[in-house]
Amino acid sequence: MAKQTENGKAFEYACALAIFNKYKNKQPVLFQESPQIQTAKKFYNSATENERRNYYLAARAAIKFIERFEPKLKDHDGDVPLILALQTDSQGEQGDVRDVLCIRKKDGWQIGLSCKHNHHAVKHSRLSATIDFGEEWFGKHCSKTYFDEIVPIFNELRRMRDESNKTKLWKDIDNKSEKYYVPVLQSFMKELKALDKQYPREIPGLLIRYLIGRYDFYKVITNDSGRFTRVEIINIFGTLNKDSNEHEASIKVPVLRLPKKFYHIGFKENSNTTIEVVCDNGWNVSMRLHNASSKVEPSLKFDVNLIALPNSVYASDEYWDDLYACNEEINYLAAEEVLPDFGK
């Protein structure tokens, strides 16, 4: 498993652990046993002491922010235990980008955190000769013209792979961007515009829904060099920020408006691997196409980032050093080595 993936799993565990330590003395809190919990715990425990401290500081800063918006974390209203669960990677492929869940079973309440360790990517979607991205992303089929353009490109990559017995490396291909990335991206952009014309005012919103998933969530992003955690509240369906029986949320979060128009679809300036999709209502998407493996294979992969969000998105940078402002926070940090038992 790649180091970046291991870091991400360890950070997911740190986020769940920070919630556990925050509320364990006020109500029953239970980790939901699963293979993904065990995997994340393993990577957290195998990290260096400094790495674990940074994971935990980043997580604790995020929880300090989130609890202001979610009184049902602290106020259980008799609905116990508070269950903490980690999701499988396959959930993201099915449209649920949340990594850590906080669940109360009686009333069905839950919130989710999407945890990012030093990166902002929201999706890693593939293109190939057989992938109908229109169907997978929007429920609208791509045209025959699109496939007529991209199939020969990917078939050539397949031929290179097969003739080399799967040993051909991307680094050995001259002008790979001009030969493969650029024409694939040009066909992709042309098809995206064609779908938008065929289904007016539908595709921009469907694109954002595909990228952010089927559920509202708190996006939690570490910045180790800056020693802060950025938290963004993605509240499109209005499921976050619910009041408890005892308290109202201290800050009310608006429901976000999805885009209905594309303002611009084109290559990023001075790039032949990245395109930008600019929408109304403040949404701006960056999509970088790359080879997912060092070896040639008949598919290419997007790294997708939301590089601009609506002004109504509530977000904050929470600095780790601010946690030392009160002794209570320091006590929580000292508890990072006290790992919880698991339950069914």
Amino acid, res. 158 = R
- Please give the pLDDT value at position 116: 87
Q: What phi and psi, each to the nearest 5 degrees, are found at residue 260? A: -125, -5
The domain segmentation of the chain, as residue ranges, is 3-119+213-256+313-343, 126-208+258-308
Residue 333 has pLDDT above 60, yes or no: no
Average pLDDT of span 20-28: 93
Average pLDDT of span 29-51: 92
Average pLDDT of span 276-294: 95
Angle at 239 between CA 236 and CA 244, to 5 degrees: 145
Quick one: CA dihedral 304, 86, 56, 20, positive or negative? positive
Amino acid, res. 22 = K
Average pLDDT of span 195-208: 97
Residue 136 has pLDDT above 70, yes or no: yes
Q: How many CA atoms lie within 13 A of 294 on its CB side?
A: 1
Average pLDDT of span 23-28: 93
pTM of the model: 0.85
* Cα torsion through 328, 330, 336, 341, rounded to 10: -10
Q: Which is nearest to 162 in space by CA: 19, 296, 324?
A: 296
pLDDT digits (tens, 9 = 90+) for 150-189: 999 999 999 999 999 999 999 999 999 999 999 999 999 9
Q: What percent of the chain has pLDDT over 90?
A: 81
- Please give the pLDDT value at position 214: 87
- Please give the pLDDT value at position 123: 75
- Please give the pLDDT value at position 93: 61
> What does the mean pLDDT of the chain come to?
90
Are the beta carbons of 95 and 112 closer than 8 angstroms?
A: no
Count of beta carbons in the 10 Å neighbourhood of residue 341: 7
Three-class SS string for the chain?
A: CCHHHHHHHHHHHHHHHHHHHHHCCCCCEEEECCHHHHHHHHHHHHCCHHHHHHHHHHHHHHHHHHCCCCHHHHCCCCCCCEEEEECCHHHHHCCCCCCEEEEECCCCEEEEEEEEECCCCCECCEEECCCCHHHHHHCCCCCHHHHHHHHHHHHHHHHHHHHCCCCCEHHHCCCHHHHHHHHHHHHHHHHHHHHHHHCCCCHHHHHHHHHHCCCCEEEEEEECCCCEEEEEEECCCCCCCCCCCCCCCCCCCCCCCCCCCEEEEEECCCCCCEEEEEECCCCEEEEEEECCCCECCCEEEEEEEEEECCCCCEEEEEEHHHHHHCHHHHHHHHHHHCCCCEEC
Amino acid, res. 342 = F
Amino acid, res. 113 = L
